[in-house]
Amino acid sequence: MEEREKSNFIWDEIDKDLAEGKYEKVHTRFPPEPNGYLHIGHCKALVTDFGTAEKYDGLCNLRFDDTNPEKEDTEYVDGIKEDIRWLGFDWNGGEYYASDYYQQMYEIAEDFIKRGLAYVDELSPEEIREYRGTLTAPGKNSPWRDRPWEESLDLFRRMKNGEFEEGSHVLRAKIDMASPNMNMRDPIMYRILFEHHHRTGDKWCIYPMYDYAHPLGDAIEGITHSLCSLEFEDHRPLYDWVVENAGFREPHRDKLGYMSIGPRQIEFARLNITRTVLSKRYLRQLIEENKVIGWDDPRMPTLKAMRRRGFTAAAIRDFIDRVGLAKADSEVDYALLEYCVRNDLGASAPRMMAVINPLLIELSNWEEGKFDEITIENHPDHPEFGERKIPFGKYLYIEQEDFMENPPRKFFRLRPDGEVRLKGAYIIKCDEVVKNADGSIEKLICSVDLSSRSGSEGASRKVKGTLHWVSKEHALPIEARIFEPLFNEESEDDDKKDFMARLNPNSLQVKEGFAEPAIKDAQVGDTFQFLRVGYFCKDKDSTAEKPVFNRVVPLKDSFKLPKA
């Protein structure tokens, strides 16, 4: 990985804050909601949060934002932790849950009520929406807005005690129903939900809203820089309103003893990637509508899926690094991600031969039952990876695409009467094309130039093409899963919302191929370069009879890095 200029607008801001003495120790947090698995978009936030803490020798907390009990689950908590560790990060500030602070948040809410900063509203959800106004029209005050605080406090306590139905009462911040910022029009702080929570069980039937819980979680933990994606920019005034009114803007020592003036939210652009969707809601829809088999379907943009497919943590971090941090939204080419993966695997993956679309070759001048041992290096640039021996016999498979009966000029693979070298072995010539009754090719009869074996004196004879191959009698059947992006390219007149209409019907192709015998020692998760075909990673669906290989990325693509 080449060194890139390491700075960004967030770090510039932090440098200023430190220079002005606002904070003693940089402290960030990564706040996933445990309602699904992490996707590559989260990686950008992760790298930003953990990377910033690393850069300033600070701390980063992992805080699960578990304020929507109906959608959240411990399965996701565990999955998220596994993904973060896999990427190579560690929450050195500790592991927390928004729900750890429910009691404290509740007390702060009571305090807000007593100070006239919050009130219990009895408008229905529809009325609340209606009273809120629009972007162009101001909202209007709820008739309950100016009720005595004692009454609100009593009602709030009764909400907590489960005396009211869902939707009948909410606690709202009393800010400004005419604010040009809709988020400031008396936002809801608490709603009633009779839901079982994955950590607090049935203890609570009122749950805080994100906009109230998040700033308080940050402030309570002593977070200094709360980095988040751009859609929260309009929520920042509310974030500051909560932090300030809860008293955290006064210079104070945080719970670790560092001087602080409370957390500061800074927004950065979300990661968007072409030909994919990055939102748990949409990913869940893909699963529910059986377009993919689950969160770890290798076509999914989740870390769990990418890991299964064979993407490496190093490649993903490299990708995020190349995308960089910006203030404006943009879309990154999916091919850049594959480029980073290919870059990483090219250096590290041992080579192997496998044929994905087999075409049978019979060598007319080779004895039945006679086998040669061919020695091939495991990696052209790494002699320390060693060599392996591959059997070569009368019947071989090559790739269907490597033969054409009527090829165009410049086709340097096999053609009738043409010659190619079989990798590491001999030059063969195609003498006859044997067809099935339906006109398809059954096999090719070829003759071997017995004096042309690689490594021997005759090896100096040059032919243009070199093909990969496997010996039929030794070949092990494999299933190869070839992936394309889940979605087709977006065009101008596409309905942006109807992303399902852009599903790529070819996102998964399953091939029955053959690999050289050494493949039998591969473990699930091992990745190889199948010569000339691509990088392949052994999948957990493998059985003893038939290993399954995911194509991680093809060998080449059209992607060129833009000139710096």
**Where along the sequence are the contacts to ligand ATP (CB under 6 A)?**
31-33, 41-42, 44-45, 65, 228-229, 270-271, 278-280
Binder of residue 31, out of ligand ATP, Mg ion, none (CB less than 5 to 8 A by kind):
ligand ATP
Minimum distance, C-beta of residue 307 to Mg ion, in the bound complex (Å)? 22
User: What angle, rounded to 10 degrees, do the helices at 74-87 and 40-55 form?
Assistant: 60
The listed partner (Mg ion, ligand ATP, none) that binds 270, CB under 5 to 8 Å by sort, is ligand ATP
CB closer to ligand ATP, 22 vs 71 = 71
Contact 220, 255 (CB under 8 A): yes
Query: Which one of Mg ion, ligand ATP, none is in contact with 229 (Cβ closer than 5 to 8 A by kind)?
Result: ligand ATP
User: Shortest Cβ distance from residue 128 to Mg ion (Å)?
Assistant: 21
* CA dist list (Å): 458 to 390, 403, 463: 20, 24, 12
Please name the residue that has the structure tokens 């020798």: 57
**Integer Cα distance of 549 and 482 in angstroms:** 9
280 is catalytic: yes
400 binds, among ligand ATP, Mg ion, none (CB under 5 to 8 A by kind): none
CA dihedral (554, 555, 559, 564) positive or negative: positive
Q: How far is the CB of 212 from Mg ion (least distance, A)?
A: 15
**CA 105/CA 101 separation, integer angstroms:** 6
Residue placing its CB nearer to ligand ATP in the complex, 45 or 390: 45
Q: Is residue 271 a contact partner of residue 323, using CB atoms and an 8 Å limit?
A: yes
Residue 112's φ and ψ, nearest 5 degrees, are -60, -40
Q: In terms of Cα–Cα distance, which of 274, 223, 210, 280 is closest to 52?
A: 223
From the CB of 85, what's the least distance to ligand ATP, in Å?
17
Q: Are 62 and 27 in contact (CB under 8 A)?
A: no
Rank residues 33 and 122 by Cβ distance to Mg ion and give the closer one.
Answer: 33
| 47 binds, options ligand ATP, Mg ion, none, Cβ within 5 to 8 A by partner type | none
For tokens 């100016």, name the residue.
146
**Pairing between β-strand 170-173 and β-strand 188-192 as defined by DSSP bridges:** antiparallel
Taken in order 194, 198, 202, 208, is the CA torsion positive or negative?
negative
CB nearer ligand ATP, residue 89 or residue 397 = 89
What are the backbone angles phi and psi of residue 546, rounded to the nearest 5°? -140, 105
Give the total residue count for the chain.
564
Q: Which residues would be at the binding site for Mg ion (CB under 5 A)?
A: 33
Least Å distance between CB 281 and Mg ion?
A: 9
- The active-site residue out of 13, 33, 110, 195 is 33
Taking alpha carbons only, the member of 385, 391, 523, 373 closest to residue 469 is 391
Nearest CA to 174 out of 155, 198, 151, 149 is that of 149
Of residues 272 and 456, the one with the C-beta less far from ligand ATP: 272
Least Å distance, CB 110 to ligand ATP, is: 27
Residue of this chain nearest to ligand ATP (CB atom): 41
Closest CB to ligand ATP among residues 32, 139: 32
**Nearest Cα to Cα of residue 287 among 553, 277, 69, 272:** 277
Q: How far is the CB of 213 from ligand ATP (least distance, A)?
A: 12
Which partner from the list ligand ATP, Mg ion, none does 183 bind, CB cut-off 5 to 8 Å by kind? none
Q: How far is Cα 545 from Cα 343, in angstroms, rounded to an integer?
A: 32
Report the partner that residue 41 touches, choosing among Mg ion, ligand ATP, none (CB closer than 5 to 8 A by kind).
ligand ATP
Active-site position among 264, 280, 453, 551: 280
Q: Nearer Cβ to ligand ATP, position 227 or 448?
A: 227
**Alpha helix ranges (H) inside 324-423:** 334-348
Give catalytic residue positions: 33, 270, 280
